[in-house]
Amino acid sequence: MSTQTSPNTSRPGPRPRHTREQVLAAALVVIDRDGPELFSMRRIADELGMGAMTLYGYVRNKEEVVEGVTALAFAEVHRKTPMGSGWEERLRSEVEDLHALCQRHPNLVALVLGQTSASPGLFRLRERMLGALLGAGFDETTALFALGVLTSYALGFGGTQAGHATIDLPERIRELPAGDFPNLSDAADRYAMHLSEQAFEYGLELLLSGLRADLRSYG
Amino acid sequence: MSTQTSPNTSRPGPRPRHTREQVLAAALVVIDRDGPELFSMRRIADELGMGAMTLYGYVRNKEEVVEGVTALAFAEVHRKTPMGSGWEERLRSEVEDLHALCQRHPNLVALVLGQTSASPGLFRLRERMLGALLGAGFDETTALFALGVLTSYALGFGGTQAGHATIDLPERIRELPAGDFPNLSDAADRYAMHLSEQAFEYGLELLLSGLRADLRSYG
DNA sequence: ACCTGAACACCGTTCAAGT
DNA sequence: ACCTGAACACCGTTCAAGT
């Protein structure tokens, strides 16, 4: 990739040779390619052709890398909803963006869910969703509940999908003792559907129509 | 804990000094106490007072430990629903059990979601949920969709709750530029509610009443 | 039979030194 | 000013050796 015609001539000035964005982009490459298990500071540095310690000039620690990568990856996937859409459209669009992030970068999801932080990379999403909910007429408490429910649903679905992506599910089910697991065994060949895109959309519509019904019951 | 009055006398026979269950129980202690980041084979061995390599006589690898611990921790939390309850009660009870697992062992959730496997520790739960859905009259496809939606929701909510548990959310929100985040800033003091138990129950009822409505529309 | 130390190929991060 | 090697305290797991 970076061919970089050796700038280490006899000239005096060392200027930063990279940017924070390059570091985050390289981190995303590593995550996508090698998975959450193998994702490491040292591999990001390798990807950029720098010493591992140089990273710490651009980034405080590994946690900050995950936060930055999340924001970067979400920006990649976010399409503005046309204004003037109703609250339900806007909410659906935001949740689908979050789901698209999980689809596009499945290896990232485990890292996001493993964070001990508020996932600051997702605050812009939350702000827009909360705005849509309050604008629709939900009281603040219900709006916050719905915010937590919808974001948890999307991340949870993305996380379980990512975990199941690489394995042969029908095979796993058939290994179970059929006597103890009659329903799963019967459905073995169709079992993978339970984490399909259709399943995700089904759950999202359940949530949105539940919210719509709730809103109608308001004074 | 294990006082074990030194059995290494001059007697001939080395018999297994531990069991798989003891290994899994010790692993759960480490996870609960030290968190997913610090959870390691070496620490499990320390907990049991054995060499790290001895673990591999009881367990194939770290992944298998996580699977076994999940099953163990779930058994701890599962209360049988009284038979004769309706499908909705049974489903609610199962999802609440999964949620209780996340509450009781928050550090475990990231490990479960980080697994690249079908989480075999949760197959019994899935079998019961699928049974409840099919028994209610849902067709197989819808039942499978609902299964994926409900388990993803519970794990996702548990995972995001666990990630946010140790941090000062109002503080984090107040660090954001209020001009860019008006809705979150206004709600800063109440923002933590979005991942409360009430929020979880709200979302669960949205899903269950959506399923109920769907079922009524069947021929 | 069961247990384990040394070894291998890794981690994140601090700190002092290099240019 | 910017970059980095050595070092520290860790990982999971293989393999050959101990009792």
Q: What is the pLDDT of residues B24-39, one digit of tens each?
A: 999 999 999 999 999 9
d(CA B127, CA B140): 13
**pLDDT digits 0-9 by tens, A149-194:** 999 999 999 999 999 988 899 999 999 999 999 999 999 999 999 9
Cβ <8 Å between B153 and A203 = yes
**What are the Cα distances from residue A101, in Å, to A36, A58, A165, A192, B145?**
15, 25, 15, 21, 21
User: For an interface test with B, which of A202, A205, A217 has the most B Cβ atoms less than 10 Å from its Cβ?
Assistant: A202
Predicted structure pTM score: 0.92
Nearest nucleotide to A13 (CA to C1') is: D1
**pLDDT digits 0-9 by tens, A13-47:** 556 789 999 999 999 999 999 999 999 999 999 99
The predicted pLDDT at position B16 comes to: 76
Surface of B (3-22) touching A: CB under 8 A: none
The predicted pLDDT at position A80 comes to: 87
Which nucleotides on strand C sit less than 7 A from a protein beta carbon?
Answer: 1-6, 10-16, 19
Candidates A114, A118, A173; nearest CB to B169:
A118
**What are the Cα distances from residue A13, in Å, to A21, A58, A117, A120?**
22, 18, 38, 35
Whether pLDDT at A1 is above 50: no
Q: Are B194 and A123 in contact (CB under 8 A)?
A: no
Residue A200 DSSP class: H
B209 touches strand D (CB under 7 A): no
Which residue is the nearest neighbor of C5, CA to C1'?
B51
Does any CB of chain B come closer than 8 Å to the CB of residue A195?
yes
Burial of A219 (0-12, 13-18, 19+ CB in 10 A): exposed
The predicted pLDDT at position A219 comes to: 57
Question: What residues of chain B lie within 8 A of the CB of A209, using their CB?
Answer: 210, 213
**pLDDT digits 0-9 by tens, B73-120:** 999 999 888 777 899 999 999 999 999 999 999 999 999 999 988 899
The predicted pLDDT at position B98 comes to: 98
* CB < 8 Å & 24+ apart, contacts of A53-58: A54/A18, A55/A23, A57/A16, A58/A18, A58/A19, A58/A20, A58/A23
Nearest residue to B159 (alpha-carbon basis) of A93, A8, A157, A99: A157
- Give the ranges where A39-122 is alpha helix by DSSP (H): 41-48, 62-77, 87-104, 106-114
Helix axis angle, B106-114 to B140-164, nearest 10° = 130
**pLDDT digits 0-9 by tens, B154-195:** 999 999 999 998 889 999 999 999 999 999 999 999 999 999
The predicted pLDDT at position B15 comes to: 67
